[in-house]
């Protein structure tokens, strides 16, 4: 048997797993496409027509590398949020930025605090740098600010992760509670405040941007409300020194020319964003109504999905999910106990929600053995 170059001990010890199995992989395994793709929290409404037109117009320019400084997009974000360009870093979606944060603040063995069942890609990056995850349970289907704070203090954590609004439950905290949490954190603990769904929830859930705090990083994305998940572009806002530290290690050519241009145009069309927010709200109401018609409990949501309590245990909710997959409807579900009693359905186009309404009773009947 041939020898092979050895991995580092850290990487060799990691399991061969990935955070998600995409719908494309599932379609390949199934040998057919989904009729309703309502599981990945994408925006089926797509980007603004203005964005599409601009992207089409610059397609020929893709022979050029991107601007490694992301200058135009940083300026646009800074104007949009009322901060300086020195307070903005652009990355390959929030996932790419989380990878950088893990490298910046976590040494092997360091405790990193998150919620049990929260966004799994964060955990994936922490494992990749040898961090020790400290996961605290949700409380009443919300990330528990008090438990996160207690764990961060107890374990002297250099990093704590909080999403607001939350994935996978769709819950949220009002800005005053987030500010209280921030003020109580140790100054040596960096908070990653993931606001991927921030445009879709109540404005009252978003604290004012305060770049004077050196231990808070706010992250946002073009993947959700702006309908640009496929371009992989997001940004972080923070104290200027924190941004300079990002610059030490970020992939300067990681965000394509197309993505940078799309982001600028998306921010410029706030009227379209408002129309999407309204359509998402209507879609949440439709999904909630479908759940209630079938005797299930939809949880309040400030995102572009609705988490549905199936009224039983995780095994039953998994059967419901499998029943919908068998009927060519792609959804997902939380997998951590207590949360796993639920399924999660993304807002989709009208015809996709029509399919959900039609097939849901059969999937439930199958799950119940009827």
Q: Encode pLDDT of 330-365 as tens digits.
A: 999 999 999 999 999 999 999 999 999 999 999 999
Query: Looking at the chain, which residues constitute the CATH 3.90.1150.10 domain(s)?
Result: 9-46+271-367
| Topology (CATH) of 9-46+271-367 | 3.90.1150
| DSSP class of 237 | E
What is the per-residue pLDDT for 19?
74
Backbone dihedral region for residue 152 (phi beyond 0: left; psi -120 to 50: alpha; all else: beta)? alpha
pLDDT score of 18:
76
Query: For 227-250, what is the mean pLDDT?
Result: 98
Angle at which helix 145-154 crosses helix 175-184, to 10 degrees, equals: 10
Range(s) of the chain covered by CATH 3.40.640.10:
50-269
pTM over 0.85: yes
Q: What is the mean pLDDT of residues 35-48?
A: 97
Of the candidate CATH numbers 3.30.420.40, 3.40.1050.10, 3.40.640.10, 3.40.50.2300, the domain formed by 50-269 belongs to 3.40.640.10
Question: 42-65: per-residue pLDDT in tens?
Answer: 999 999 999 999 999 999 999 999
Return mean pLDDT, the chain: 97
Asked whether the predicted pLDDT for residue 230 surpasses 80, the reply is yes
Strands (E), 239-313: 297-298, 305-309
Mean pLDDT of 213-240: 98
Contact 41, 166 (CB under 8 A): no
Helix (H, G, I), strand (E, B) or coil at 131: coil
- pLDDT tens for residues 277-330? 999 999 999 999 999 999 999 999 999 999 999 999 999 999 999 999 999 999
């Amino acid at each position: 048997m041939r020898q092979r170059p050895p991995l580092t001990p850290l990487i060799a010890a990691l399991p061969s797993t990935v955070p998600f199995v995409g719908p494309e992989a599932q379609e390949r395994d199934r040998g057919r496409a989904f009729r309703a793709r309502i599981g990945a929290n994408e925006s089926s409404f797509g980007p603004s027509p203005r964005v599409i037109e601009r992207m089409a117009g610059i397609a020929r320019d893709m022979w050029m590398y991107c601007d490694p400084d992301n200058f135009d997009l940083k300026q646009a974000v800074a104007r949009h949020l009322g901060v300086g360009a020195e307070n903005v870093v652009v990355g390959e979606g929030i996932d790419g930025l989380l990878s950088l944060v893990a490298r910046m603040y976590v040494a092997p063995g360091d405790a990193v605090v998150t919620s049990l069942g929260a966004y799994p890609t964060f955990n994936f990056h922490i494992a990749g740098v040898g961090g020790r995850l400290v996961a605290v349970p949700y409380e009443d289907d919300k990330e528990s600010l008090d438990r996160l704070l207690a764990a961060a203090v107890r374990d002297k954590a250099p990093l704590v992760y909080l999403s607001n609004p939350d994935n996978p439950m769709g819950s949220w905290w009002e800005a005053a509670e987030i500010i209280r949490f921030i003020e109580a954190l140790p100054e040596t603990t960096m908070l990653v405040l993931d606001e991927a769904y921030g445009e879709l929830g109540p404005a009252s859930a978003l604290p004012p941007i305060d770049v004077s705090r050196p231990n808070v990083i706010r992250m946002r994305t073009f993947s959700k409300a702006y309908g640009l998940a496929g371009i992989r572009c997001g940004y972080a806002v923070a104290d200027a020194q924190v941004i300079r530290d990002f610059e030490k290690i970020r992939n300067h050519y990681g965000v394509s020319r197309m993505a940078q241009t799309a982001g600028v145009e998306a921010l410029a069309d706030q009227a379209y964003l408002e129309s999407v927010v309204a359509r998402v709200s209507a879609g949440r109401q439709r999904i909630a109504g479908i759940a209630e018609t079938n005797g299930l409990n939809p949880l309040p949501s400030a995102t572009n999905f609705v988490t549905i309590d199936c009224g039983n245990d995780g095994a039953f909710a998994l059967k419901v999910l499998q029943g919908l997959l068998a009927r060519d409807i792609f959804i997902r579900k939380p997998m951590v106990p207590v949360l796993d009693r639920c399924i999660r359905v993304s807002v989709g186009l009208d015809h996709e929600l029509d399919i959900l309404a039609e097939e849901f009773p059969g999937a439930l009947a199958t799950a119940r053995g009827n």
